[in-house]
Chain A
Amino acid sequence: MRKLPLSLTINGETHELLAEPHHPLLEVLRTQLGLIGTKENCLEGECGVCTVLLDGMAVNSCLLLAAQCQGRRIVTIEGLGGPETLHPLQETFVEHGAVQCGYCIPGMILAAKAYLDQNPEPTEGEIREALSGNLCRCTGYQKILDAVLAAAGVLAPMR
């Protein structure tokens, strides 16, 4: 099939590239743009490690065609904060020891960010529900919940 010329806005930067029509955003991020913070696992929407923000919503980038993303805003974990400028969610994940192998963490953090943006003062139960599309194979769920709750406490007064 003919490759498609695409213009994608990722983390505020516009990228011009060529992609196969069936390529998911995940593949373009990892293999063409070197944005390997977004992880790859089930490719069926089950695990959430590929979560990115699309116009502010958490979505699975394995089920989203790159072609569908033109004219929309994509944020990946690289766009949230770097080593010197950690986002409060990244800081609380470090402080609470919420990261074990780390594979699920970019997706967890972005799903949590999308949720907190809309619900600044969640209960623990609500956070659990908000993260139900994200699996952690190291099963560190409790510390992840603690970290998100703590981040909510830091972020809410900043709004």
Chain B
Amino acid sequence: MSFEYHEPPSVSEAVALAARFGSEARFLAGGTDLIVQINRGKLAPRHVVSLHRVPGLDTIAVDGHVTLGALVTHRALERSPHFQGRYRGLVEGAQVVGGHQVRNVGTVGGNIVNASPAADVVPVLLALDAAVTCLGPEGERTLPLEEFLVGPGQTQRRPEELLTTVRFPLLGPNSATAFLKAGRRKAMEISVVCVAARMTLDAGLERCREARIALGAVAPTTLRARAAEHVLEGEVPRAELLRRAGALAARACQPISDVRASSQFRRLLVETLVPRVLARCLERIREEGR
């Protein structure tokens, strides 16, 4: 079960190693998914390419966009002064990933590439219309996160590609995000269901201009609930409408039954959490408007 270990000092050398070893290689970021999977015998890479010496991938840049390097840790997201306001949903997603030991090393890039349907930061990024950039021997390509995610543990990433950044547009005024998670206990728990939302209201803070709702742990990939988004857009988001959005979101998901919860219970959670997470966005927008 052993492997050969590499620690390239640059992005280009990391990509060159991945190109040389193809699907026999795996990148190692925080290791909180990869090492567990290797120990369980689920993965047996012949080459492990650690990224901890690669510079420049751990920065958070806010200019015309927000750009997160793939090696930004959950801890760094939680603490970033950029995300305490309109982007609060990102902090809420990052905050519930494992305990401090996991968040100190676990990365955004690992959360995305691991492609667990229960990943907690991914739904918030989906609600923010994020796109991911991969670098391979032939150059860079950028694709919407939603397209990038293919199935449990599966993405569009080619084995020789390094995920370098994830980027999303800046949120304008009258916008907010929020995230909620249901687990079997309060801390250190994989999501039974998690939901993220973003809402933008018109200038008079009356009608919903744009809505995004993303659901985790209810389908093979993190899922956008489009019908629920559409029912909100252009309308006055009263409590009754939020409940309708919840019902539509519950209809959009295809949850499994497993040791954590039954499929029906997961649907019920979606129906309950979606109106709540939307209401939280509305509260935040109104607070900011005051």
Chain A interface residues toward B at CB < 8 A:
1-2, 4, 20-22, 24, 43-46, 48, 51, 54, 57-60, 62-65, 67-68, 111, 114-115, 129-134
Question: Interface 1/0s, chain B 1-33, versus A by CB < 8 A?
Answer: 111110100000000000000000000101110
Asked if residues B98 and A133 are in contact (CB atoms below 8 Å), the reply is: yes
Chain B residue with the shortest CB-CB distance to A56? B104
A1 to B2, CA, bound (A): 6
User: Which one of B2, B31, B48, B187 contacts A63 once the chains associate, using CB atoms below 8 Å?
Assistant: B31
**Residue contacts A-B, CB under 8 angstroms, 28 given:** A1-B2, A1-B3, A2-B4, A21-B3, A21-B5, A44-B39, A45-B32, A45-B36, A54-B105, A59-B104, A60-B102, A63-B31, A64-B35, A64-B105, A65-B48, A65-B50, A67-B5, A67-B7, A68-B7, A68-B28, A114-B100, A115-B100, A129-B187, A131-B99, A132-B99, A133-B100, A133-B101, A133-B102
Task: Decide if B188 is an interface residue (CB 8 Å cutoff).
Answer: yes
- Residues of B contacting A22 with CB < 8 Å? 1-3, 5, 38, 48
Interchain nearest-CB distance for B104 vs A (Å): 4
A60 to B4, CA, bound (A): 22
A2 to B168, CA, bound (A): 43
Asked if residues B100 and A21 are in contact (CB atoms below 8 Å), the reply is: no
A54 to B73, CA, bound (A): 15
Interchain nearest-CB distance for B100 vs A (Å): 5
Chain A residue with the shortest CB-CB distance to B48? A21
User: Which one of A43, A46, A65, A111 contacts B188 once the chains associate, using CB atoms below 8 Å?
Assistant: A46
- Residues of A contacting B3 with CB < 8 Å? 1, 21-22
- Residues of A contacting B98 with CB < 8 Å? 45, 133
User: Which one of A1, A2, A4, A48 contacts B101 once the chains associate, using CB atoms below 8 Å?
Assistant: A48
Given A22-B3, A114-B100, A133-B102, A68-B50 contact (CB < 8 Å): yes
- Residues of B contacting A21 with CB < 8 Å? 2-5, 48
Asked if residues A44 and B104 are in contact (CB atoms below 8 Å), the reply is: no
Task: Decide if B52 is an interface residue (CB 8 Å cutoff).
Answer: yes
B interface, size bucket: 20 to 34
Chain B residue with the shortest CB-CB distance to A55? B104
User: Which one of A20, A54, A67, A129 contacts B50 once the chains associate, using CB atoms below 8 Å?
Assistant: A67
- Residues of A contacting B104 with CB < 8 Å? 54, 57-59
Chain B residue with the shortest CB-CB distance to A4? B5
A41 to B233, CA, bound (A): 51
User: Which one of B7, B28, B50, B105 contacts A59 once the chains associate, using CB atoms below 8 Å?
Assistant: B105
Interchain nearest-CB distance for A116 vs B (Å): 12
A2 to B5, CA, bound (A): 10
Chain B residue with the shortest CB-CB distance to A132? B187
A48 to B98, CA, bound (A): 11
- Residues of B contacting A59 with CB < 8 Å? 101, 104-105
Chain A residue with the shortest CB-CB distance to B185? A132
Asked if residues A45 and B100 are in contact (CB atoms below 8 Å), the reply is: no
Interface centre among A1, A2, A51, A60, by most B CB within 10 Å? A60
- Residues of B contacting A115 with CB < 8 Å? 100
- Residues of A contacting B101 with CB < 8 Å? 45, 48, 51, 58-60, 111, 133
Interchain nearest-CB distance for B73 vs A (Å): 9
Asked if residues A64 and B31 are in contact (CB atoms below 8 Å), the reply is: yes
- Residues of B contacting A67 with CB < 8 Å? 5, 7, 50
- Residues of B contacting A45 with CB < 8 Å? 32, 36, 98, 101-102
